[in-house]
C-alpha cells in the first residue's frame, strides 16, 4: 500500500485546540484511521512544520480526500508527499 508523508502546520486555532486539549492529537489520529489512513509514525517538530506523520492509504485519492477533510477544519494547513521506498525507486531507474 502507498505511503505518504503528511507535513502539518497548526493554525492559531489549532494551537489553541491542542493547548486546551492535548488528547486531541490522538483523537485526530483515530479520525484519520476512520477516513482510510493508517498512521505509522508521528513526530511533533520544531521549525517549519509542527507535525510530521508517516501514513498509509489505499491510494492517492484516499490520501487526497483525507487531506481535504483535515484541512477543511481550519486548525491545520497540510502538505502531502508521496513516499516511494528507496529500493523501489532504485529498481525503476
Cα 31 to chain centroid, rounded? 11
Cβ atoms within 10 Å, residue 17: 19
CATH topology of domain 3-91: Alpha-Beta Plaits (3.30.70)
CA-nearest of 84, 20, 25 to 50 is: 25
Cβ atoms within 10 Å, residue 63: 21
pTM metric for this prediction: 0.89
pLDDT in tens, the chain (93 residues): 899 999 999 999 999 999 999 999 999 999 999 989 999 999 999 999 999 999 999 999 999 999 999 999 999 999 999 999 999 999 999
Using only the alpha carbons of the chain, give its radius of gyration. 14
Domain boundaries, the chain: 3-91
Amino acid at each position: 500500500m502507498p505511503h505518504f508523508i503528511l507535513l502539518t502546520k497548526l493554525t492559531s486555532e489549532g494551537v489553541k485546540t491542542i493547548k486546551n486539549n492535548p488528547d486531541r492529537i490522538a483523537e485526530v489520529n483515530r479520525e484519520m484511521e476512520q477516513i482510510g489512513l493508517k498512521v505509522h509514525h508521528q513526530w511533533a517538530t520544531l521549525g517549519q512544520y509542527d507535525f510530521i506523520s508517516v501514513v498509509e492509504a489505499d491510494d492517492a485519492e484516499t490520501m487526497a480526500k483525507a487531506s481535504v477533510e483535515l484541512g477543511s477544519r481550519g486548525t491545520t494547513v497540510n502538505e502531502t508527499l508521496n513516499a516511494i521506498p528507496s529500493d523501489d525507486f532504485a529498481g525503476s531507474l
